[in-house]
Amino acid sequence: MTDVLRYTAFTTDPAGGNPAGIVLHADRLSDEEMLRTAAEVGYSETAFVLREGRTRPHLGLRFFSALDEVAFCGHATIATAVALAERGGVGTTVFDTPAGEIEVATAVVDGVLRASLTSVPTRTRPVPDAALGEALAALRLSAADLADVLPPLLSYAGNEHLVLALASRQRLAELDYDFTRLKDLMTAEGWTTVQLVWREDEDTFHSRNPFPVGGVVEDPATGSAAAALGGYLLSLGHVPAPRTVRVVQGVDMGRPSELLVDVRPDDPRVTVSGAAVELPTPQG
């Protein structure tokens, strides 16, 4: 039986955030066993730490959803870093992931253990018209639902995300989409999530992230998408000076989450920070 820890990331409340499974010693597991373990855990992702041939601060890290391996998962990375810090002390860990090296620093801030991951260099590209039209149809949105000053873009920060800014908070709250249709589109296009955002003010975004390709309707906190949002803002010229963006996610699901996104105009990488807390192991 594989020992699995359960943490929820981007919150200090066990009732909030995005749960992730964590296997701290996964070197003896095959790909099939990792996938089976992730399916048994049942969260959007489970992280597997690889130690063979490495010494901390360098560790391997892989991520599996219930359906497949994922190149990068932000909330599971944050959760894993916190779990390691609780057992081995705070500091910096460099995770070798399928998406590249991800550096994560842990520290106690105002009495709370927090982790900050630095993404791979972000980049954006336009959304093909046909793919955008199909995405809007699957999401049951129209062009009139989109914000005027924040155009649709594909943003990469280890995974590619479609970023759609909505014109109203109400429309974000009303999210209701065709699961199979969106999953088929995302699989064909290679998108990991669709990131729907509404900008409350210059530094606060509300977000929802459909994740049908991972077998779940929605993620309550998505670190990789938050990093992609930072890259999105950077590419649009919205970062003339270093800034911190607060992403509020999971509210409409009843699992409130907070992600802090630090962006610099001279660096294509993005830092995403948050807390994490251990969940009790299910009985039975």
pLDDT tens-digit series, residues 201-227: 999 999 999 999 988 899 999 999 999
**3-class DSSP assignment, residue 83:** helix
Using an 8 Å Cβ cutoff, are 22 and 46 in contact? Answer: yes
Tell me the longest C-alpha to C-alpha distance in the chain.
Answer: 54
Question: Could you give the 3-state DSSP secondary structure of residue 265?
Answer: coil
pLDDT category of residue 282 using cuts at 50, 70 and 90: confident
| pTM for the predicted model, two decimal places | 0.93
Q: How far is CA 85 from CA 105, 163, 248, in A?
A: 9, 32, 25
- Could you give the CA distance from residue 189 to residue 184 in angstroms, rounded to a whole number? 9
Q: Encode burial over 60-75: b for 16+ CB neighbours within 10 A, e otherwise.
A: bbbbbbbeeebbbbbb
Phi and psi of 58, rounded to 5°?
A: -95, 125
- Identify the bridge partners of residue 16 per DSSP, sorted by sequence position: none
Give the span between the Cα atoms of 79 and 153, in whole angstroms: 28
pLDDT one-digit tens code per residue, 2-25: 899 999 999 999 999 999 999 999
Identify the structural domains of the chain with CATH numbers, from first to last: 5-118 (3.10.310.10), 123-273 (3.10.310.10)
Contact between residue 178 and residue 185 where contact means Cβ atoms under 8 Å apart: no
Q: Are 102 and 158 in contact, with CB atoms under 8 Å apart?
A: yes
Rounded CA separation 22/19 (Å): 10
